[in-house]
């Protein structure tokens, strides 16, 4: 699993444990107080998450919103290619629209 900024800068690369879980990834986010200031557009950082595992469908989550002082969990369903043999090179992309804050 990898986490990048939208422009492609890598933040983290993680391998899952036997339960499919990873260690938390620290993401640079705006200070909570700064998001309260006039003219500040958004109180979160967006990241892209990529999950790859041989024999499984590739998954991408675009523009996942990460807020200060908040743990963001992202469940990634990994579909075995045996269930979709024609999709061996297909990537599923999920896009997260910005919140109306």
Predicted confidence band at 90 (pLDDT cuts at 50, 70, 90)? low
Q: What's the pLDDT at 42?
A: 79
Q: How many angstroms separate the CA atoms of 21 and 9, rounded?
A: 23
Q: Where are the domains of the chain?
A: 2-95
Residue 48 forms beta bridges with which residues? Answer: 4
Task: Give the strand order in the sheet containing 91-95.
Answer: 10-13, 2-4, 44-51, 58-67, 91-95
Stated pTM of the model:
0.75
Q: Of the candidates 68, 3, 72, which has an alpha carbon nearest to the alpha carbon of residue 40?
A: 68
pLDDT tens digits, 2-50: 999 999 999 999 998 888 889 999 998 888 777 676 777 678 899 999 9
């Amino acid at each position: 699993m990898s986490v990048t900024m939208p422009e492609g800068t890598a933040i983290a690369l993680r391998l899952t444990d036997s339960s499919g879980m990873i260690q938390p990834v620290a993401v640079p986010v705006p200070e909570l107080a700064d998001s309260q200031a006039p003219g500040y557009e958004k109180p979160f950082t967006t990241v892209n998450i990529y999950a790859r595992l041989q024999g499984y469908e590739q998954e991408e989550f675009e523009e996942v919103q990460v807020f200060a002082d908040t743990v963001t969990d992202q469940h990634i369903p990994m579909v075995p290619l045996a269930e979709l043999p024609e999709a061996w090179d297909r990537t599923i992309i999920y896009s997260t629209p910005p919140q109306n804050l």
